[in-house]
Chains A and B, each alone.
Chain A
């Protein structure tokens, strides 16, 4: 089973709202990722968690706040977003962060910021 689940599937929020995206995997993977993808572009890495600790932050604005409550869960807290933050937000996981580990993606949350 290579399933990564994400909720919600779709989210519409205003610029003053606070919302959270959730990601879950039960494959025993120890690395989890957040990506942002705009239309017709490849995914862009935002954050990497390894063994529940943040290991990479790709200079993401502080209005995006990741959290890893346990080894199976990854959250992305959103606050004071801008319309240009509208995108598909993808979660992924891999066994570890080794160069040969395959990353498996969840179905994504399609976010619209009004």
Chain B
């Protein structure tokens, strides 16, 4: 079993759609959680840190359920510019080592 697992994708959605990505992690000692976004042939960029209380940034909402070891990202009112690969990332506090999910590709169509 992979340490961090994401929906396989790709997700193809029309503009304006709401899309949800799910992620599970296997190590209950995980300390911090992130969603990164990576455009084609570019570097990963931090989208959001994820907190137990949930957090929202504009059209993006992230949730963490420690009991279920589950992380989610909700994107409302999708834009063409949201097309990218979304990486679920977990930090086990092992000297800075991040554990990446395989990524979920999102394509928003006109």
Contacts and interface: CB of A to CB of B under 8 A. Distances in A.
Is chain B's interface secondary structure helix, strand, loop, or mixed overall? loop
A21 to B, nearest CB: 14
Given A99-B31, A99-B91, A102-B49, A107 B42 contact: yes
Contacts of B97: 45, 48, 56
Contacts of B49: 102
Nearest to B96: A97
B43 A90 contact: yes
Interface in B26-55: 31-32, 34, 41-46, 49
Assign chain A's interface to a size class.
20 to 34
A55 B95 CA distance: 8
10 contacts: A33-B96, A41-B102, A43-B44, A45-B98, A90-B43, A96-B96, A99-B32, A99-B92, A101-B96, A106-B43
